[in-house]
Amino acid sequence: MAVGRSVPWLCALLLLLAAWVDVALGVAPCDVTEYQPEDSNLCCRFCPAGQYVFKPCRVNHTAGECRVCESGTFLAFPNGEPTCQRCIQCRKGDQEVVAKCSPTSDRQCQCKKGSFYCNSVDCVENCLRCKRCPGVVLSPCNATSDTVCATETDRGRPGKD
């Protein structure tokens, strides 16, 4: 009878001991706001967006040394990265900058207004030259759609000229 009562206590004690060993050895998983540096059992707090890990923490669950991303680089989210990402470059011939590169965001590009357009997301391939109308322009070319020209039938309708 005494053995039957001690089994639950023994199981609880073993679970508690296993959890203590995991924490003591640094095997416990890191929190969602932390990362585990290479060759380390520590959990370090993320650096904020716009900064990278210069030196990881030396004490578990603390922040290491973070540094601001240099000009031309960024990190958009809290992270445990050792370097920042390079900002994209807009193509000189057919794109223009619509949002500058900053430590927390990448540069944003679009096709040059009035000369080029793109009908795909992010225009990674290339921008297309805008169509020129021989007559009436119904809708001018913009960064995301080509020029819409009036047709012969459009010109003959009332209210189209």
Print the SS3 string covering 115-138. Answer: CEECCCHHHCCCCEECCCCCCCEE
pLDDT tens across 62-105, in order? 999 999 999 999 999 999 999 999 999 998 888 899 999 999 99
Q: Is residue 125 part of a domain?
A: yes
Q: Are residues 102 and 121 in the same domain?
A: yes
Q: Tell me which H or E stretch contains 17.
A: helix 2-25
Domain boundary among 68, 86, 104: 86
Average pLDDT score over residue span 125-137: 86
Can you tell me the distance from the alpha carbon of 59 to that of 129, in angstroms, rounded to the nearest whole number? Answer: 57
pLDDT tens across 100-127, in order? 999 999 999 888 887 787 777 666 667 8
Q: Are residues 82 and 111 in the same domain?
A: no
* pLDDT of the residue at 103: 99
66: domain CATH number is 2.10.50.10
Residue span of the structural domain in which 55 resides = 28-86
Say how many domains are in the chain.
2
pTM over 0.85: no
Can you tell me the distance from the alpha carbon of 72 to that of 138, in angstroms, rounded to the nearest whole number? Answer: 40
More confident residue, 93 or 19: 93
Q: Is residue 76 part of a domain?
A: yes
Number of other CB atoms surrounding residue 37 within 10 Å: 17
Q: What tokens does 141 get?
A: 């070319």
103: domain CATH number is 2.10.50
What is the DSSP-derived secondary structure letter of residue 112? Answer: P
Q: Is residue 131 part of a domain?
A: yes
Q: Which residue type sits at 56?
A: P
Q: Is residue 16 part of a domain?
A: no
Domain boundary among 86, 110, 135: 86
Q: Is residue 1 part of a domain?
A: no
Contact 117, 144 (CB under 8 A): yes
Q: Of the given ranges (74-83, 121-130, 135-144, 151-160), which has the lowest mean pLDDT?
A: 151-160
> Which of these, 101, 40, 87, lies nearest to 53 by C-alpha position?
40
Whether pLDDT at 151 is above 90: no
Query: Which residues are CB-neighbours of 123 under 8 A, at least 6 positions away?
Result: 95, 109, 110, 111
